[in-house]
Structure 1
Amino acid sequence: MDKVMRLASEKGVVIFSKSSCCLCYAVNILFQELKVNPMVHELDQDPDGREMEKALTRLGCNAPVPAVFIDGKLVGSTNEVMSLHLSGSLIPLLKPYQA
């Protein structure tokens, strides 16, 4: 849990992902299109990935990946990110991090 929280607060926008996950890919593309360059941690390429997945679930992620953090706070997974985007609430959160 400590490692997840430390990594989540290292940069303004952080995504915990898996390289083989299509929903992770979709969220990454969304952020690219919104001109945000998040820090992406691929859990399937991290030796502590399994433990980090469990920690994300304990933090409240319905699906452990993708897990999106903005300003060190858990925003959620694909459903939460897309809901925020469709309601117009995501862009104001990302404004400070847009290139």
Structure 2
Amino acid sequence: MDRVNKLASQKAVVIFSKNSCCMCHTIKTLFSELGVGANIHELDEDPKGSDMEKALAKMVGRNPPVPAVFIGGNWVGPTDKIMALHLSGKLVQLLREAGAIWL
């Protein structure tokens, strides 16, 4: 869990993902189109990915835990929460506050 917390706070936006997850692809595409240079951790490519996935599941209370989006070091949510924030116009505000975008 320490590694997950450390990685989640290293950049304004951190996404824990898996290459095989279609919802992860959707979230990564959304942030890319918003101009966010997110730090993306592909759990299926990391030698410690399985341990991080277990820690994330405990941390966020979901299994599978991906995609897990952290903004400003805080867990914001999975796909449905991120999309709801985006559709309400609140995601861009969060990204500005975290210094992830400047527009």
Tell me if both proteins adopt one fold, taking TM over 0.5 as the criterion: yes
- For 1:43 and 1:75, the matched residues in 2 are separated by 18
Residue equivalent to 1:45: 45
Q: Which runs of 4+ in 1 moved over 6 A?
A: none
How far off its partner does 1:19 sit?
1.0
Residue equivalent to 2:16: 16
Q: Which amino acid aligns with 1:93?
A: L
Residue equivalent to 1:97: 100
1:26-65 matches, cutoff 5 A? 26-62=26-62, 63-65=64-66
How far off its partner does 1:51 sit?
1.0
Q: Which runs of 5+ in 1 are unaligned?
A: none
The alignment's TM-score, normalised by the length of structure 1, stands at 0.94
Cα shift readout 1:9-33 (whole Å, capped 9, x = no counterpart): 0111000000111111100110011
How far off its partner does 1:61 sit?
4.5
Structure 1 vs Structure 2 CA RMSD: 1.1
- For 1:87 and 1:29, the matched residues in 2 are separated by 18
Q: Which runs of 5+ in 2 are unaligned?
A: none
Of 80-89 and 53-62, more deviation after overlay is shown by 53-62
For the structure 1 residues 61 and 82, does the alpha-carbon distance in structure 2 shift closer, same or farther, using more than 3 Å as the test?
farther
Does the CA contact (< 8 Å) of 1:61 and 1:77 recur in 2?
no
How far off its partner does 1:48 sit?
1.0
SS in 2 for 1:74: strand
Q: Which amino acid aligns with 1:19?
A: N
Identity, in percent, stands at: 55
SS in 1 for 2:44: helix
